[in-house]
Amino acid sequence: MKSLIIIGIVLFGIGGLLFYLNDMAVDLRVVYGSLCGIGIGLIIGGLVGYLSKGSAVKEAQIRQELKRLQQEKAELEKQRVENTVGHNNY
């Protein structure tokens, strides 16, 4: 995702640089617009992808933690049952 943002910034910069170095020629404005448009699209796409990936990773960590806690709870309840049964036998 970070590489998309970098590529987008480079393309946007190339488009702007060519536009200003070519004395703002009108005949190539489609090329300049395309480079800048692709650059902006990649920047926005990279940011959205990066943010959505971060939230998905956090959700996965929360699920794993919940699963681990449920296993620990089951083990503790099993130990508690064994302890109460063991005390009743003596």
Tell me the two tokens of residue 9: 């910034």
- Classify residue 22 by its DSSP letter: T
The C-alpha angle 39, 16, 25, rounded to 5 degrees, equals: 125
Per-residue pLDDT, 23: 67
Q: How many domains does the chain have?
A: 1
Average pLDDT on 46-53 reads 80
**Domain housing 33:** 2-89
Of 74 and 90, more confident:
74
User: HSE on the CB side for 40, CA within 13 Å?
Assistant: 7
Question: Would you put residue 25 in left (φ > 0), alpha (ψ -120 to 50) or beta?
Answer: beta
The predicted-structure confidence for 5-42, as pLDDT tens digits, reads as follows 777 777 777 777 777 777 666 666 677 777 777 778 77
The answer to pTM > 0.75 is no
Average pLDDT on 49-62 reads 84
CB 46 within 8 A of CB 5: yes
